[in-house]
Structure 1
Amino acid sequence: MIRGIRGATTVEANDAKIIHSQTEALVKTMIEKNKIEPEDVAHVIVSVTDDIDQAFPARPIRELPGWQFVPVMCTKEMSVPGGLPYCIRVMMTVNTSKEQQAIKHIYQHDARQLRPDLLDE
């Protein structure tokens, strides 16, 4: 079965090192909580808000061990009045035998407000 796994985080500044470290931390948590193997990943889409443009957040994902062949693409998030600033969102499409309700979606930092109903605490 193919399932989507969502994740989101925020950064405190439009800085390449921060963008990379926060994206890496988010994706590593998504991998750990959902026991994801790179060969089970169809693709990863990463979106950023308009205020993030100093680095491609796909880079630290591609640099994870075994992830160099996983298709990863960056895109811009819709700009909506009142939207969460400095936000990085990840949609990972994976092959898994898990039921939909067993998927652990990960929301970190200020992005926790996006889906408080899905927080795993």
Structure 2
Amino acid sequence: MIRGMRGAITVNQNTEEAIITATEELLVKLIDENHILPDLVASIFISTTEDINAAFPAKALRNLEGWTYVPVMCMQELPVPNSLKMCVRIMMHVNTTHSQEEIIHVYLKGAKVLRPDLSNSLA
């Protein structure tokens, strides 16, 4: 079964280095916490708020060994008034036998405010 695994992180500045570093941190944590292997991933969607445009955050995935052929797409979040700024979000579609309750969603830095209700998140 395919399950969605979510994560988000805030970026401290709109530079390529900051975007790639933060996105890689989030990807590594999401992968490690859920024991994800690249061959189990159907696709990854990465979105950013409109104030992040200095780099494609998907470049961070290519820094990880074994993730070359995983399909990934970048997009922009809806610019909802008063929403969290400088945020990268990930939706990873993974083939797994885990139940929804066993999935560990990862929210780091300022993005922790997005889903405080996910008590199973270890991040």
**TM superposition score normalised by structure 2:** 0.96
Shift of 1:81: 0.3
Shift of 1:60: 1.0
How many residues align? The count is: 121
Deviating beyond 4 angstroms after TM superposition, the runs of 4 or more aligned structure 1 residues are none
Q: Provide the rounded CA distance (Å) in 2 between the counterparts of 1:39 and 1:12.
A: 32
Shift of 1:55: 0.5
Tell me the equivalent position of 2:39.
Answer: 39
Shift of 1:63: 2.5
Shift of 1:120: 2.6
Shift of 1:117: 1.2
Q: Secondary structure at the match of 1:24?
A: helix
The answer to whether the aligner puts 1:120 opposite 2:112 as a matched pair is: no
Tell me the equivalent position of 2:53.
Answer: 53
The answer to whether the aligner puts 1:106 opposite 2:111 as a matched pair is: no
The answer to whether the aligner puts 1:97 opposite 2:66 as a matched pair is: no
Identity %: 48
Tell me the equivalent position of 1:87.
Answer: 87
Question: 5+ unaligned residues in a row in structure 2: which ranges?
Answer: none
**TM superposition score normalised by structure 1:** 0.97
Tell me the equivalent position of 2:17.
Answer: 17
Q: Secondary structure at the match of 1:117?
A: coil
Question: Which residue identity does 2:113 align to in structure 1?
Answer: Q
Q: Provide the rounded CA distance (Å) in 1 between the counterparts of 2:89 and 2:108.
A: 10
- RMSD of the TM alignment (CA)? 0.9
Q: Provide the rounded CA distance (Å) in 1 between the counterparts of 2:33 and 2:2.
A: 17
Question: 5+ unaligned residues in a row in structure 1: which ranges?
Answer: none
1:85-113 Cα shifts (integer Å, max 9, x gaps): 00000000000011110000000000000
